[in-house]
Amino acid sequence: MAESQEGFLSPKTVLAEMKKNGVTHVLWLPDSETNWLYTLMKAEPSITLVAVSREGLAFSGAAGIAAGGGKPIILIQNTGMLESGDSLRGWALSLNIPVVMMVGYRGYTRHGVNTDSAADFTEPFLMAFGIKYYLVERDADSPRISVAFEEARKLGRPVAILVGDEYHGFN
Amino acid sequence: MIQTAEMLKVFSRHRGDAIVVPGRGGRHWVNISTRPSRDLPLGDPAMGGHAMFAFGLALARPQDKVVLFDSEGDLLMSMGVLPTIAEHAPANFYHFLLDNECYATTGGQPVPNAKNVRYDQLARASGYQRSYAFSNLEEFTGAIGDIMSQPGPVFVALKVIPEVINEAIGRRPKWQTRTRVQAIQDLRKELGIGEVGA
């Protein structure tokens, strides 16, 4: 690859953050920002990968896993998050579920000119639900993932990571 | 058609140590259950999520049986949950469906194609290895012991009599004795695990 390692977000870095924070289950629906994680997550024995067919199911699933003592993470795209509003409200916020949601930031550019209306509505949506969020675009940003886990735990509610980097090939 | 409360009384004799998520049967189950600390009567946090919630609980607690009383309106909203559950095939998951053919809590309007959907067949086609359908209590009573003694995942579709509510939401009697958060905390205490997220 032409770009330096520091210039993008490595799937190994993200997986290391998940393991460091004790994630047991990943609830996900593939998207173009996070699909590079699939092969690595699939090969990781400490993580159970739970594929859902609609993003709202990730929130009720995460609530069940958390209630039973597991530590879930949600991996979806902003488009799916927008459709999941009531599930997020009812299954995560109202049950005090401390889950980190990694959200593919489709349409985002760091230059401030979004290429898709999904990006335009992403941050206003999170603000409307009172959900804190962090932008992660490259490896140097990855410590924010641990910050999100810690805040979710302290607050007893979801915290979002916006993944602002599309994939650069599989692993 | 089956009376939900009578069916739950029969089921309770075979419950054992199972964790029960009573779903729309909750208002009856709170008066029947003898082990409330192993119950999660959540009411309706958000429609369409009960199956995935109970499945998530089953994934996190493989050592415990998890029983869900789902409803057809809830399942119709998220039918894609069936392949997800079947893919993981949790041996501790018992998925019962209360099918009253309508949205009882909004006045009894029929669900889509109310009388013609075979939920047991949908579950089987999605990958559940065992599925059943009952429309009378006698047959259910004869089969429930065997259903609960074998590994899951199993799907049990039950045709139940609608209990239609037309009362305004604010005037409906409250059947929940605990908040949802309290019910989860009670279960975790019962299971010997700490606060959520700890």
How far is the alpha carbon of B185 from chain A, nearest alpha carbon, in Å? 8
Query: CB neighbours (10 Å) of residue B147?
Result: 18
Q: Tens digit of pLDDT for each residue in A15-69?
A: 999 999 999 999 999 887 667 788 899 999 999 999 999 999 999 999 999 999 9
Q: Can you give the pLDDT at residue A122? A: 97
Are A74 and A27 within 8 A, CB to CB? Answer: yes
Would you tell me the crossing angle of helices A143-155 and A11-20 to the nearest 10 degrees?
Answer: 30
Identify the H or E element spanning B124.
helix B119-126
ipTM of this complex: 0.95
- Decide if pLDDT at A120 tops 70: yes
The candidate with the shortest Cα–Cα distance to B15, out of B134, B149, B151, is: B149
Q: Which domains does chain A have, with CATH numbers?
A: 1-103+148-166 (3.40.50.970)
Q: Which domains does chain B have, with CATH numbers?
A: 4-191 (3.40.50.970)
Listed by number, the residues of chain A in 66-95 with a beta carbon closer than 8 Å to a beta carbon of chain B are 66-72, 86-87, 89-91, 94-95
Q: Can you give the pLDDT at residue B94? A: 98
Q: Can you give the pLDDT at residue A166? A: 64
Listed by number, the residues of chain B in 57-76 with a beta carbon closer than 8 Å to a beta carbon of chain A are 57-61
As a whole number, mean pLDDT of residues A73-90 equals: 97
Encoded tokens for A132 = 């804190």
Conformational region of residue B197, where left means phi above 0, alpha means psi within -120 to 50, and beta covers everything else: left
Task: Give strand pairing partners of B94.
Answer: B67, B154
Please say whether the dihedral angle defined by the alpha carbons of residues A56, A60, A63 and A64, taken in this order, is positive or negative: negative
User: What is the residue-wise DSSP string for B66-117?
Assistant: EEEEEEHHHHHHTTTHHHHHHHH--TTEEEEEEE-SEEGGGT-EEPTTTTT-
Encoded tokens for A53 = 């067919």
Choose the closest CB to B197 out of A50, A52, A66: A66
Identify the H or E element spanning B154.
strand B154-159
Rounded-to-integer distance, Cα A106 and Cα A163, Å: 9
User: What is the residue-wise DSSP string for A95-131?
Assistant: TT---EEEEE-TT--TTS--SSHHHHHHHHHHHHTT-
The answer to whether residue B191 neighbours chain A at the CB level (below 8 Å) is: yes
Query: A4 falls in which pLDDT band (50, 70, 90)?
Result: very low
Choose the closest CB to B45 out of A90, A152, A156: A90
